[in-house]
Amino acid sequence: MTTKAGMTCSKLEQIFNTQAQAARDEGTSFAREVSYVDVVCDISLTRIPLDAKEISFRVLPSPENQAQLSDEVMFSLILAQGSLNSVYLDVPFDSTVEPSEILNTAESAGFGVNLIPPKTPALDSKELGMYCELLRAYGAEWLGSPQSNIRVAPIDAYIEYKLGVAAGLKPVSISTDQMITSLYTETLGMEAMDAVKVVLDEVILKHIGDDSAFEEQILTTAKAVILKDRQYMQARAKILTEGLDQRTPTPNLIRLVSAHTELSIPDAAGLLYELKRGIHTVLDKYLPGPKDKDGVMNSPRQAAFAKMIADMAVAAVGGKAQFDALWGEACASAQVADRINIDRGQVTPGPAATAVATALNTDTKTGALALIEAALVIGSLFEAGGAVEPAEVAEAKPTQSGIIAIG
Amino acid sequence: MSKLSGHRVLVAMTISALAATAQAGVQSPLKVMESTEELANDRDVAKVRATLEMNQIKPVVESNMVQLREMFTTADDLKPMNELLAAVSSLRDRDSTNIRAWGSCHSACHGACHGARGWR
């Protein structure tokens, strides 16, 4: 982003007119990538340059009352706020406008505030002294307001730097923000910058505390982040538990895994889900293929791998006819086609389901549906290998309510 | 109580600093060993926790959550961070009947447009 400093509202209007002419005559388009800083409101702003990303206006006092903002600045702020996301008030070091007036105006619409230092001041200069007083006054006003929604530079940049240090970061510079660099680092000079840092430390010590306060804040925020994360996951675990049948294809296998591994339902679901995802991750890594327009990988090599496994199974039982017979018998025994009717209580689970339920110490319906889900999982591999067709579904039998299917 | 904890902008700056630290891959020496209940009952933590839901802070926290979570040593012995839970909010829109499509990005997108085909 480019920074342009020291413009007036009249000049911005000229820039807009030139750009608008170019856009009309030559079709030129302008990217919003320029930061106009320290704009002086010689008139009320009427046009915003087409390339403006952010604007900051220099605070000017009202001619009638030096403690209040001028009308030109107020009207310029209102226009800019309606058009741009980032609008700032630049408070010069010798401003006579009351800090509370500036901060209230900024709070009312979410403008940021920049406290502008004098240019390369001498260490013992009156200008630097005035600037330090300005920092103290704004620091007290801003940091004393817990409901504040705005930022006040350079105090905020320095606090963020100290927070980063407290968190373990070792930044090479106080800020990487180009506006901060332009307004402070390049304007003040190194010696004056050190003097300003001393004042900022003093303000921060008075209104926030020493380094331990920053460490405490980092820890408190870290705890809040961890709490948010845990509450988020707990809410999702509850959703998954309550909607297991609607949200997973193998709810009864998940129930069995949960019962036999002492995992909670969400963790058992996660175990099966991540096992499947893990297999696909490995397959996609070693046997990648082209992706279609929907981003779905369609790998002939993975299909060949599945076919190899299916062919092995077919050969092991003596040929395709024997395999079809065996698979058909297994599906019939597991009542795969009747999965909807069993789930809705319209078909009674058969002997295989009863045996599974007894062996796994669960109720017959869960055992029956878990067996079907396991058959579908295995079937999906044979299906990918071309050995079997997708599992059929028997016609749903009507229930007393007359509802045939849900979803 | 920290003077910073109630100040929205300063909480935002703390999150910004933490996100930058997390993105830099720095492992914090800080440990969060309290249980969820203990954290929820801590007034300072609860205050910041509420502020994390405010606009401009919330998206930064949520987009950096994985890095932020891994930045601190915690007492979590649970495994609720599994991928399924992270994705569960959109699972309703997927084809939950198809084991082959379970967790597939395609079925998530397709389901979002065309609805699920849950048979239960």
Assign A374 a pLDDT band (cuts: 50, 70, 90): very high
Residue A80: count other Cβ atoms within 10 Å of its Cβ.
Answer: 25
Tell me which of B23, B81, B88, B104 to substitute to probe the interface with A (most A C-beta atoms closer than 10 Å). Answer: B88
B54 touches chain A (CB under 8 A): no
Which pLDDT score, from 0 to 100, does residue B114 have? 46
Residues B28, A294: C-beta atoms closer than 8 Å: no
Residue B87 has pLDDT above 70, yes or no: no
For B22-55, what is each residue's pLDDT tens digit?
Answer: 888 887 778 888 888 899 999 989 999 998 988 7
Q: Whole-number mean pLDDT of chain A?
A: 86
Cα–Cα distances (Å) from A219 to A178, A207, A223, B26, B43, in that order, read 29, 19, 6, 15, 14
Q: Which of the residue ranges A74-83, A288-297, A363-372, B92-101 would you say has the lowest mean pLDDT?
A: B92-101
Whether B67 contacts chain A with CB within 8 A = no
Q: Which pLDDT does position A308 carry in this prediction?
A: 95
pLDDT of residue A371: 93
Residue from the list B52, B103, B117 with its beta carbon closest to the beta carbon of A228: B52
Q: Predicted confidence band at A310 (pLDDT cuts at 50, 70, 90)?
A: very high
B115 → chain A, closest CA residue: A407
Picking from B1, B60, B99 by the largest number of A CB atoms within 10 A of its own CB, the best residue to mutate is B99
CB contact under 8 A, B36 and A143: no
The answer to whether the CB of A356 falls within 8 A of the CB of A366 is: no
Contact list in B for residue A226 (CB cut-off 8 A) is 32, 39, 69, 72, 74
Residue B71 has pLDDT above 60, yes or no: yes
- Angstroms from B59 CA to nearest CA on chain A: 12
Say what the pLDDT of residue A255 is. 93
Q: Which residues of A151-169 are buried (b: 16+ CB within 10 A; e: fewer)?
A: bbbbbbbbbbbbbbbbbbb
Q: Is the pLDDT of residue B105 over 50?
A: no
Residue A257 has which token pair?
A: 């895994």
Q: Do B13 and A156 touch (CB under 8 A)?
A: yes
Give CA separation, A263 vs A11, A152, A243, in Å: 69, 51, 17
Does pLDDT of B117 surpass 50?
A: no
Residues 8-37 of B with CB under 8 A from A: 8-11, 13-18, 20-21, 24, 26-30, 32, 34, 36
Nearest CA in chain B to A269: B84
Looking at the predicted structure, is the pLDDT value of residue A173 above 70? Answer: no
Question: Taking the domains of chain B in order of start, what are their residue ranges?
Answer: 8-74, 83-114
pLDDT at A375 over 70: yes
Q: Label residue A161 by pLDDT band (50, 70, 90).
A: confident
Work out the percent of chain A whose per-residue pLDDT is above 90. Answer: 31
Q: How confident is the model at residue A16 (pLDDT cuts 50, 70, 90)?
A: very high
B89, containing H or E segment? helix B83-91
Closest C-alpha among A170, A373, A267, A398 to residue B26: A170
Longest dimension (CA), chain B: 55
Beta bridge partners of A61: A69
Return the pLDDT at B115: 45
The phi, psi pair for A169, rounded to 5°, reads: -80, 145
Higher pLDDT, A120 or A158: A158
- Give me the pLDDT at residue A313, please: 94
**Predicted pLDDT of residue B81:** 60
Contact residues, chain A, for B76 at CB < 8 Å: 230
What the block records as the tokens of A191 is 């010696």
Q: Contact B24/A169, CB-based, under 8 Å?
A: yes
Q: How confident is the model at residue B92 (pLDDT cuts 50, 70, 90)?
A: very low
Give the pLDDT band of residue B107 (cuts 50, 70, 90).
Answer: very low
Annotate A112-136 with b (16+ C-beta within 10 A) or e (fewer).
Answer: bbbbbbbeebeeeeebbbbbbebbb
Chain A residues with beta carbon closer than 8 angstroms to that of B74: 226
Tell if the CB–CB gap between A377 and B99 is shorter than 8 Å.
yes
Chain A residues lying within 8 Å of B8, measured CB to CB: 146-149
Residue A406 burial (10 A CB sphere; 0-12, 13-18, 19+): exposed
**Per-residue pLDDT reduced to its tens digit, A31-53:** 888 989 889 999 998 889 999 99
Mean pLDDT of A258-272: 90
A52-58 vs A34-39, strand pairing mode: parallel
Q: What is the pLDDT of residue B26?
A: 81
Across the interface, which of B14, B99, B116 has its CB nearest the CB of A407? B116
The pLDDT-based confidence of A295 (bands split at 50, 70, 90) is low
pLDDT in tens, A114-149: 998 888 777 788 888 999 999 999 999 888 877 788
Q: What confidence tier does B118 reach under pLDDT thresholds 50, 70, 90? A: very low
Tokens coding A33: 């990538």
pLDDT of A78 higher than 90: no
State the nearest Cα–Cα gap between B90 and chain A, in angstroms: 9
Give the C-alpha separation, A55 to A37, whole Å.
6
Tell me if A222 and B18 make a contact (CB, 8 A cut-off): yes
Q: Which of A147, A171, A249 sits opposite B99 (nearest CB)?
A: A249
pLDDT at B102: 55
Q: Name which of A223-237, A304-318, A326-340 the model is least confident about.
A: A223-237
Domain range annotation of chain A: 2-154+173-203, 243-384
| CA–CA dist B61, A222 (Å, integer) | 11
Q: Which residue has the tokens 């609860």?
A: B46
3-class secondary structure for chain A? Answer: CEEEECCEHHHHHHHHHHHHHHHHHHCCCCCCCEEEEEEECCCCCCCCCCCEEEEEEECCECCCCCCCECHHHHHHHHHHHHHCCEEEEEEECCCCCCHHHHHHHHHHHCCEEEEECCCCCCCCCHHHHHHHHHHHHHHHHHHCCCCCCCCEECHHHHHHHHHHHHHCCCCCCCCCCHHHHHHHHHHHCHHHHHHHHHHHHHHHHHHCCCHHHHHHHHHHHHHHHHHHHHHHHHHHHHHHHHCHHHHCCCHHHHHHHHHHHCCCHHHHHHHHHHHHHHHHHHHHHHCCCCECCCCCECCHHHHHHHHHHHHHHHHHCCCHHHHHHHHHHHHHHHCHHHHHHHHCCCCCCCHHHHHHHHHCCCCHHHHHHHHHHHHHHHHHHHHHCCCCCCCCCCCCCCCCCCCCCCC
Cβ of B66 under 8 Å from any chain A Cβ?
no
Q: Check CB contact under 8 Å for B119 and A248.
A: no
- Cβ-nearest to B83 among A218, A223, A273: A273
Q: Above 70 in pLDDT, residue A407?
A: no
